[in-house]
Structure 1
Amino acid sequence: MSSITIHNTQIPVVEYRGQRVVTLAMVDAVHRRPENTARRNFNENKDRFIEGEDFFKTTPAELRQHFVRASCEIPCNKLVPIQGRGVTLLTEQGYLMLCKSLTDDLAWEVQRQLVNRYFRPESKVVTAPSLPNDYIEALEHLLASKRSEQLALEQRDHAIATKAEIGSRREATAMATASAAVRKVMHLENELGRGCRHATVTAVEKAAHRSFGTQGFRPLKTWCDSHGVTAPKVQDPRFGWVRSWPAAAWAAVYQIDLAELFGAAGEHE
C-alpha cells in the first residue's frame, strides 16, 4: 500500500471496507497536534458520531488484512497501530466533523489537501462508480411517466368494469399489466426514498410539511438499532446517499404512516 505527503507530512494510505480512512494518530500527525489530541476530541464528542458512517471500530488483527507498511517519516506502527486492542478509523465525513474546531491556517490547508488528494484522489474520481448529477431527475421523469401509465390503465379498467367484462381474458391481462405498472411505481418511489416501505427524513418533511431538525434521524436510528433493522441507503443529490428509514420506525417514533403519506396504491410485494 502506498503513502502520500500531506503538507510535508508523509502518511500511509489506509483503505477499509472499500473507502479510504484515517486513524486518530494520522490526524494528529498531519495537523501537527500533540499526541492523543484527536482521540480526546473524538471521545468528548463520541455521541455525535455515527458508527459505520463517520467511523469504524476494528482490531489491529483485522486492520493488518487491509494494510501493508509504507515508507513513512513517522513509523507506520505509530500512525496505524498493528498491535494492541481497538483501533478507530475515521471516514472522510468523520474526519471533517472532528476537525470542525480547527480553524487555524494550517488546519484549513491540511483539510483541503486531505480531502482532495487523500479521500478523493484524482484517479478514483475518474473510475469510481459515482452516479451522475441528473440521476435523480431521470428517475423523477420515469416516475411521472409510470404514474401517467398507471392512471390510464386504471381509467380503462374502470370503464371495462362498468360493462361487466371483468371476467374475460382480455380484462384479466389488463389488470395484470396495471399491477405491474403499480409495482414499478412503488419500486421507483422506494428507490427515491419516499415509498410506503421506507422514506428519507427530507422526503417525509416535504410531504408532511414538518421539520424534524438536523438530528431528527437519531430517534429513527435508535429504533432500528434496537430492533436489529438496517435502514437502506438511497441516492441523494446533495450528499451522494442518505438513509431511508423503514415505515415501522416512522410509525413508532413519529406516528407517521408512510402508506397514508405517500399513497398505498397497488399490491405490496
Structure 2
Amino acid sequence: MTITPFTGGDAVTMSSQEIADLVSARHDSVKRTIERLAEKRVIQLPPLVEVKNHLGQTVEQYLFSGEKGKRDSLVVVAQLSPEFTGALVDRWQKLEEQVKAPALPGDYISALEHLLESKRSEKLAIEQRDYAIETKAEIGSRREATAMATASAAVREARQLRELLGMGVTQATIVAVEKALGREFGRSGWRPLKKWCQARGINAPHVIHPTFGSVIAWPAAAWMDVYQIDLADLFGADGEQA
C-alpha cells in the first residue's frame, strides 16, 4: 500500500485518528475496523497518509475525504459506536462550514473596522429590511427605521457594528439570541432557519465571532416565522437587550 505524506490542503477531510477520538476508541482498533469493512467491500479503503502526532512522531492514519469518504466514515462509526453517528455528522458539517467561511484578517479590531466600512454600502441590509417590512417583522423594522433616523451619528455607527456582529434587529446569530434569552436551541437549532432562507432564496451572511471565527447571522423575518422571536423586542431600539 502506498503511504503518502499528508500536507494538508483546503479539502474537507476526516482522519481515522479523529474518528477514534470521537468514539473514545483505540486508533489501531479503528484502523482494523476500516480494513475489515474494506475487505468486505462495504466501504472503499481510504488512502493511508503519514502525519505528525502531538509528540512529533510520524504515524499512519486513514484519511476520508469527499462525499464518498463522508459516507464511508459514517459507516465506520455506525459499526464502532452507533450512538456517535450524529456527532460525526455534526463534525462534518462544522468542517464544511469552516471551508466555506471567508478568511478573516488576523487582527480582530482591524477586521471589525474593515467589515463595518465595506458593509455600509451593501444592498444586503436594505434588501433584508425591505423584506422584513413585508413580513411579520414589519413593526420591528419600522421601529429600526425610526431609531436610525433620530439617532446620532455615533449611535448609528455603534448599531451598524452590532448588526455586523450578528446581534442587531435586522439579523442575529444563534449565539447572540441564546445569550439574550438564556436558552439553547440545540445542535440542530440552525436547520429550520436555514430551510426558511433557502425557501426564499436568501443567502444569510457570515459575521465575525471572536470565539468561532465566523458564524451565520439569520434575518429578523426568519427568527419571527420560525421561532416567533422579534429581534427588535429582544435587542431593543438601541441594540441592547430589551
Short-chain TM bin: 0.3 to 0.5
- TM-score normalized by structure 1? 0.43
- TM-score normalized by structure 2? 0.48
Rg (Cα) greater in structure: 1
